[in-house]
Amino acid sequence: MSVRTLAPRLIAGAAALAALMGTAATASATAAPGRAALARQILATKGIAPATAHAGGRHAASTARQNLVDTAHGKGALTSRWGDRPNRRVALDARMLNGMLKLRTRYGYRIAVSEIVGGDHSSRSRHYAGLAFDINYINGRHVGSGAPHRNLMAACRKLGATEVLGPGSAGHATHVHCGWPR
């Protein structure tokens, strides 16, 4: 092949590669708005009540509600100052946010989310990676006092959670923990 016939092919190939690279860059740039949009949907959905206070301390900037508000505004969610990973901004995982939303929209549960990245958890907790949330009320009943936690736990697994803990698991007598894979 001569340079004269090869050059247009090389230019076309380079243009296609540039287009693909632009698409990949665009796809990664849209990941944040995906989280933001999911957080806005959660905040607007009746039947999902993110906590506005912590059971174990005061820090309004790291409550479940504020974690969602910050995410809806394109910021990372803030961990609590007394936790094992204090005062850090964490990107909430879109799979986890989608799971939280689907517990209401697909499965019909009314839930109270007690913690996302705030609170105090074990040092390697998925909470600190933006991959987990805790639920302390299901359909108006406190977990551990007759709430349908087993069915909700099964729904979390169907939605992709691989770390699902609740009453009967150490440290989870009063809430359900739903965590997505790292």
CATH number of the CATH domain containing 45: 3.30.1380
Residue 19, pLDDT above cutoff 80: no
- Asked if residues 39 and 117 have their Cβ atoms less than 8 Å apart, the reply is no
Which pLDDT score is estimated for 15? 44
Domain-embedded: residue 129: yes
Q: Which residues pair with 28 in a beta bridge?
A: none
Domain-embedded: residue 121: yes
Which pLDDT score is estimated for 93? 98
Which pLDDT score is estimated for 86? 86
The SS3 call for residue 137 is: strand
pLDDT tens-digit map of 81-139: 888 888 899 999 999 999 999 999 999 999 999 999 999 998 899 999 999 999 999 99
In this prediction, residues 54-74 reach a mean pLDDT of: 91
CA pair distance 51, 68, nearest whole angstrom: 10
Q: pTM for the full model? A: 0.80
Domain-embedded: residue 24: no
Which pLDDT score is estimated for 7? 43
Q: Which amino acid is at 107?
A: Y
Domain-embedded: residue 158: yes
How many residues comprise the chain?
182
Residue 18, pLDDT above cutoff 80: no
Which pLDDT score is estimated for 58? 79
Residue 146, pLDDT above cutoff 90: no
Domain that holds residue 174: 35-179
Which pLDDT score is estimated for 31? 42
Nearest C-alpha neighbor of 179 from the set 106, 142, 130: 130
Total tally of structural domains belonging to the chain: 1
In this prediction, residues 153-179 reach a mean pLDDT of: 96
| CA-to-CA dists, residue 91 to 30, 63, 83, 108, 116, angstroms | 14, 15, 17, 26, 11
CA pair distance 143, 159, nearest whole angstrom: 20
Strand locations in 100-162 (E) = 111-115, 132-138, 141-142
Which pLDDT score is estimated for 147? 86
Domain-embedded: residue 20: no
Domain-embedded: residue 117: yes
Domain-embedded: residue 28: no
Domain-embedded: residue 108: yes
